[in-house]
Amino acid sequence: TEIIKKYVLEKNFEELRSVGHKLKGTAGSYGFMGLSKIGAKIEEAAKASNIEALKKLSLEYEDHIKQVEVKFI
């Protein structure tokens, strides 16, 4: 979450696009579809240089991560 916040503060849209793209693919491949959708939204907002959307998505990402529960089976 810290790297996304950093890139948002820097308005580093290219890095945000890259992070969003990687998050979308990696999360999706492990079945974390909610997280994958957030990654896709980050990627699209970064492509559009939409800083306000990226600020909101950064918080959405952080909230989503806090709700993930790891279970060892």
d(C-alpha 64, C-alpha 44), whole Å = 19
What pLDDT sits at residue 48?
98
What pLDDT sits at residue 58?
97
Percent of the chain whose predicted confidence (pLDDT) is above 90: 88
55-61 own/partner pairs: CB under 8 Å, 24+ apart? 55/8, 58/1, 58/4, 58/5, 58/8, 61/1, 61/4, 61/23, 61/35
What pLDDT sits at residue 44?
98
What pLDDT sits at residue 51?
98
What pLDDT sits at residue 1?
81
Residue 55: CA atoms inside 13 Å, Cβ hemisphere, count? 6
pTM over 0.85: yes
